[in-house]
Each structure stands twice: as structure tokens, then as C-alpha cells.
Amino acid sequence: ADPQAVADARAHQDRLTKPRGALGVLEEVAVRLAGAAAASPPPIPAPAALAIFAADHGVHAQGVTPWPQEVTQQMVANFLAGGAVANAFAAQVGASVTVVDVGVAADLPPARGLVVDKVAYGTADLSRGPAMTGRQVVAALEAGIAVAGRLVGQGARCLVTGDMGIANTTASAALICAFTGHDAAEATGRGTGVDDETLARKVEIVRRALRVNGLADPAPGMTVAEALRRLAAVGGLEHAAIAGFILGAASLRVPVILDGVIAGSAALAAAALAPDAVDHCVAGHRSAEPGHALALAHLGLRPLVELELRLGEGTGGLLAHPLVCAAVRVMHEVATFDSAGVSEKEA
Amino acid sequence: ADPQAVADARAHQDRLTKPRGALGVLEEVAVRLAGAAAASPPPIPAPAALAIFAADHGVHAQGVTPWPQEVTQQMVANFLAGGAVANAFAAQVGASVTVVDVGVAADLPPARGLVVDKVAYGTADLSRGPAMTGRQVVAALEAGIAVAGRLVGQGARCLVTGDMGIANTTASAALICAFTGHDAAEATGRGTGVDDETLARKVEIVRRALRVNGLADPAPGMTVAEALRRLAAVGGLEHAAIAGFILGAASLRVPVILDGVIAGSAALAAAALAPDAVDHCVAGHRSAEPGHALALAHLGLRPLVELELRLGEGTGGLLAHPLVCAAVRVMHEVATFDSAGVSEKEA
């Protein structure tokens, strides 16, 4: 983050016609984006573009979810037809929707709004060895970087992460453990609503994945090679692509709003690859998944929306977009005490 | 609330292409609005109209705030010139802004967007006797009802409460004590940022106001006459007008998004006058004022935005508007499992 822009943004906030600090967390968001953009005020982060990265997961075979794997491709069709919650929320906030097939376990018919950059027909089972090869993880990262570049090239000034992949909260939990050192039982949740028995199995699968892949020990001061190895070992293709999407946004100095636990776990990988990338991230919301709070704490991000959402798709990130815009808009449009002739409080 | 519409809305939510309950608090908002509108899905609550009720307070003389009383009228001018945070947030969410002078301690020049319905040049000092006469409190309520009717007549499908009045968090704290039975020390906060000494004085003033006005005892099963007496005793003219605004919205079956502690305390009065009015209220946010959480708990409302805002003006209510729209939009636009051909989870 640019220290001069941060200082300028803080000073500007204090001159506006409101008590100091009265906008709470939103003042910090605006200052953060100023630092990331190296400009105070930072550019208005609109229009927004949502990218939903879709992929399947070999670990689905372990019974970690009651949803059939086919739901991934069925929901992709639903996104492309405009019928999902993410579409409704995108319409509400004026965001475009792009679906990116980086690893769905089926060939999808071409459609408007669908980008096919398929790295594999789903990952291998992370509980039996690495989910991705080294070549696959790099290809998925590059797919995400490319989408960020394309959307910004088309005029987007804010990116929003989205995901679709039945079983992907299992991979997320494993990533959170692998990058933060938390135990599987702390990081693993009920996803889209699994019962007690399935949750216990899910925790055991995450624990096995960490053991099988040699990720039990936390790795402070992780090298880029080790970060890539961990992402490949227990991540999903959509996680890797979202990590690339974040890196792409950061390199273009465009803010990226993170959705839920999938994005949070992907951001851990992005941060391990390039720590400054986090400066460009805004945590859109905190999901009901316990691992998400752990990931956000590790990243030092405070979520804007806390409404017990547990849907993914980018829904929580989209809801945060008007809040982020409002935070920045204040710096462009609100009068100062001097300019408005408003008295300040007595010392 | 209409029980059939509530049941229909819940059943509809469960057929949509998302795991049950995956939209968390937003599902409850949509169901609540269906019940209030007696229709499932409920109408899209847009466009929104913000009404900022402005008034001054006799208790200002007791040194409860470091801000000069003149700031009330200076900020009204700032709203009318479009330079306040409320204006920026209203622009962000596409809401109109109307300023209503129900009790500013000065004659304001006519301006576009200003409604003058002045009941008095500020209230009397609530720590020395009733802040308003019985006639004044009714006139302020009627002013609020009239504004609600006018804005809905002009096409608003969602109302948002706003307020401006230096010293009005003192009156809010007293109202919260008078309607919930909480102690002054629990309900009184730092408002726009008072120091420890001023906070202690503020608590003492609230306590004295309750004693002087005979409001120390909670009054379960309060009559309408007693509710009016309590509102008149320690409320502000803007509190009474906002209570009327809520009653007006409810009678027109239009949802009203409550801003912060001023609106929360006014809603307690509205609920005491007409309990069903609360069905039409959505708590926009939870402010940093401790009394606000007490008021919301008493009303049974869960706030949508929790970002430590402490500005008033309607800012927290405006930020919630896209979230409320998104919640309702889901019920209009999202496909069902059947219509989208998406498999449901295995039992």
C-alpha cells in the first residue's frame, strides 16, 4: 500500500462534515483502497464484474456432501440462464456475470457468458494424494489471471470472486489448515448443510488429506514453491483460479471483493504467493463456515456483511459492493467543514 | 403480519435453487416483508425515499455534547446542497432525499427538498420537565405521517428514516429507558464522540429526566395515552415525527428501514402506539450507541449492517436498502429446482 495515499486519505476523512470516525469500518475501507490504488481519493470501484469459477472435486467420492456432483454443471447452466441467486444479486448491484469452467467434470455446451478454460475434468481425490499436478495448478492460476485481465480490459473497476463446485468446502477447509496451521476440526464446517455424521467424516477426510500430503506442520515463511505445492495438494481448480484472479486484480491495481470461505481459502494461497496482493482485497462477507473466520483473521481482513449466508457463487461479495462504493463515494462527494460552513465541535 | 403470506414465502424460499436457509438473515427479511405486505413474493421495495427529520433540543443547554446547536441548521443546509454523507449514500442507492424541519431553532430559508412543518423552535429541556406539550407531540407525529403519505404518493416503495438534531442521542437514551426500563447508564453512549466527563454528565441528565418526568418505573402494558406522555416527556420533535413516519408507512403497507439509535428509540414509541407497525420495520443497521442494541432487542429486530457507524442522518438505513432489495429480488427472479433442472440433495 502507498503510505502517502493512506495518509492523505485519513486526513481527508477527518475534514469531511461528520464526526471523526463516524463511518466506522467504511472509513478504513476507503483508506485501504486509497493505499492500494496509490491515489486519494481512490477511483470509484464500479462497475463490478463477478467471475464464477466452476470445478469438480475428486474428494466428492468420499461422501463429504449429500449433493450429487452433477449439481456443479446444473448450477452452471442455471447461472448462464440467469436463474441463480448470484444473478439476482448481480442485477441488484449492476455487476456483470461471467462463468469460467476451469474444471467441471463434463463438457459444457457453449453459451454466452461462459468462458471455457478447462484444466482438467475435476481434481484428483485430495485425501489420497495431491489434488492437482504442478502443471495443473499453474494452469488454473493463469486462467484466473487471464479472466481478471479480460474483465478489467472490458471496463470493470471492481472484481468479485464467485465459485461453484460441489464438495469445495472440503478443499477450502484443507487449504485453511495448510496455510494457517489450524486443526481440521476448527476449520471444517457443514458447507451447504451436512448432518453430524457427514461432518465427522469431512473432518476426518481433511485430516487425512493433510497427513497424506505432508501438510500437517504449519510452514512459517513459506516459499513460493511450497505455497504452490500446498495449493496443488489440497486445493480445487476453482481455488487456484480464484487465487490467480486475486493476483491479476492486484497487478492491475483493481480492488477485488472476496466472497466466502472458498475465496478466503484461495486468498490465503494468493497471499502466500504475493503478500501485497491482500492490500487489494476487501472481505465481502463472513460466511457461516467456521474456517472462513480463521482465514480472514489470518489475512487481517474484516468482513463487511455478516448475515449468516452460506451459499457461495459470489453472493456475499456482491452484497458488499454497494457498501464499498458508498465508502469511496464519500471521499469524492462529501463537503468539508470549511466548504460547507459547518462548525466543528468545541475542543 | 399475514400468516398465509408468511407461510407461502417460506415454502417458496425452500423451492429456490439454493440449499435451504443458505441466505441466512436475508430469507427472514423477505418472509417478513411478505407478511407485512400480505403478498408472496412481496413487492420490490424500490425506489426508496429518505426523510431527514431535523429539530433542536432544549437539553443542549446542559452540556451533553461538544457540538454547537447551530450545527443542526448548518447540516440541514449541507443536506440541501447535497454535501453530506447521507446525500452520497442516497445517490449510491438511488434514493431521494427530503429534509423536514419539525423543530429547528431557527427560520430556514426555503429550498428545494426542504419541507417546513415546524412544531416549535426546539424542545424544552427534558431534564427540567416535559420536552414537548401534548399538542406538540401530536403535531410532530402528524408531520411524520404526512411526509410518509406524500413520499409514497410520489412513488416511493420503501421509506428510510433519517435525523439531524444536535443533542438528540440524549433524548434517544431517555426514550429507550422510558420504553424498555433499562437504566440510564446502560442506554447512554458517546453519541458523536463525547469524552468521559461529558458522558458521565449525559448519564446523569438522562437519569434526572426520567425522575423529573415520573418515568422511572417501566410500564408494562402501556396505554396509548401513557406512550404519548412518555414520548412528549423525553423525546425530541424529530423522534415524534419519525414515530409518525413509521406509523404512516405501516398504514400504507410500505416497508420502512430504520436508521440508528434515533430511529430505534422512535420505533419504541411507534410500537407502543401501534404494535403491528413493527411488522413493517427493517432494522437497517446497529449503531455504536449502546442504547440502540437495547431498543432493537426490545423490538425483536435484527440489524442488517454492523459497521460501527455513528453518524445518523439515515446513513445506516440507506446502506441496508440494497440488501433489502436483494432479499426480495431473490423471490421474484430465482429459479426453482424443478424449473432449472437442478438435482436436490440426497436425503
Q: What is the layout of strands, in order, in the sheet containing A281-283?
A: A114-116, A96-103, A48-55, A158-164, A256-258, A281-283
Whether the per-residue pLDDT at A347 is higher than 70: the answer is: no
User: Cβ separation of B67 and A315 shorter than 8 Å?
Assistant: no
pLDDT tens digits along B291-312: 999 999 999 999 999 999 999 9
SS3 per-residue string spanning B258-306:
ECCHHHHHHHHHHHHHCHHHHHHEEECECCCCHHHHHHHHHHCCCCCEC
User: One fold for both A3-42+332-340 and A48-323?
Assistant: no
Grid coordinates belonging to B346: 440426497
Min CA distance, A307 vs chain B (Å)?
5
Give which of A285, A241, A288, A287 is closest to A267, Cα–Cα.
A241
Min CA distance, A81 vs chain B (Å)?
9
Sort out which chain B residues have CB atoms less than 8 A from A93's CB and list them. 322, 326
The alpha carbon dihedral of B279, B256, B318, A343 has a sign of: negative
Question: Out of A22, A75, A309, whose CB is closest to B342?
Answer: A75
User: Cβ separation of A326 and B306 shorter than 8 Å?
Assistant: no
Burial B240-270 (b: 16+ CB within 10 A, else e): bbbbbbbbbbbbbbbbbbbbbbbbbbbbbbb
The mean pLDDT of chain B is: 96
pLDDT tens digits along B63-98: 999 999 999 999 999 999 999 999 999 999 999 999
Q: Determine which one of A306, A313, A344, A346 is catalytic.
A: A313
Say whether A328 sits in a helix, a strand or coil. Answer: helix
How far apart, in Å, are the Cα atoms of A307 and each of A237, A240, A267?
28, 27, 21
Question: Out of A88, A192, A339, whose CB is closest to B330?
Answer: A88
pLDDT tens digits along A258-288: 999 999 999 999 999 999 999 999 999 999 8
Q: What is the mean pLDDT of residues A64-84?
A: 97
| Fold designation for A48-323 | Rossmann fold (3.40.50)
User: Cβ separation of B16 and A85 shorter than 8 Å?
Assistant: yes
CA dist., res. A298 & res. A295, Å (int): 5
- Where exactly are the structural domains of chain B? 3-42+332-340, 48-326
User: Cβ separation of B91 and A329 shorter than 8 Å?
Assistant: yes
pLDDT tens digits along B127-154: 999 999 999 999 999 999 999 999 999 9
User: Cβ separation of A192 and B310 shorter than 8 Å?
Assistant: no
Inter-axis angle of helices A25-37 and A3-15, to 10 degrees? 140
- The pLDDT-based confidence of A41 (bands split at 50, 70, 90) is very high
> Strand pairing partners for A115?
A100
Give which of B79, B196, B311, B312 is closest to A20, Cα–Cα.
B311
B282 φψ region: left (φ > 0), alpha (ψ -120 to 50), beta (else): beta
Q: What pLDDT, on the 0 to 100 scale, is given for residue A218?
A: 67
pLDDT tens digits along A210-229: 999 999 776 677 899 999 99
pLDDT tens digits along B217-243: 766 778 999 999 999 999 999 999 999
The listed CATH number (3.40.50, 1.10.287, 1.10.1610, 2.40.50) that belongs to domain A3-42+332-340: 1.10.1610
Min CA distance, B214 vs chain A (Å)?
33
Question: Out of A19, A82, A304, whose CB is closest to B192?
Answer: A19
Sort out which chain A residues have CB atoms less than 8 A from B302's CB and list them. none
Respond yes or no on whether ipTM tops 0.85.
yes
Sort out which chain B residues have CB atoms less than 8 A from A83's CB and list them. 17, 333-335, 339-340
Q: What pLDDT, on the 0 to 100 scale, is given for residue A216?
A: 78
User: Cβ separation of B89 and A335 shorter than 8 Å?
Assistant: no
Contact between B173 and B189 under an 8 Å Cβ cutoff? The reply is yes
pLDDT tens digits along A151-171: 999 999 999 999 999 999 999
- The pLDDT-based confidence of A74 (bands split at 50, 70, 90) is very high
Sort out which chain B residues have CB atoms less than 8 A from A332's CB and list them. 88
Q: What pLDDT, on the 0 to 100 scale, is given for residue A83?
A: 97
Q: How many helices (H) and strands (E) does chain A have?
A: 14, 6
Sort out which chain A residues have CB atoms less than 8 A from B319's CB and list them. 322-323, 326
Chain A residue with CA closest to B341: the answer is: A74
Sort out which chain B residues have CB atoms less than 8 A from A330's CB and list them. 85, 88-89
pLDDT tens digits along B31-68: 999 999 999 999 999 999 999 999 999 999 999 999 99
Q: What is the mean pLDDT of residues B187-196?
A: 90
User: Cβ separation of B22 and A91 shorter than 8 Å?
Assistant: no
Task: Spell out the residues 6+ positions from residue B164 whose beta carbon is closer than 8 angstroms to its own.
Answer: B52, B53, B54, B72, B75, B76, B79, B99, B238, B312, B313
Q: What pLDDT, on the 0 to 100 scale, is given for residue A124?
A: 98
Is A186 in the active site? no
Its CATH class, for the domain covering B48-326, is alpha beta
User: Cβ separation of B85 and A334 shorter than 8 Å?
Assistant: yes
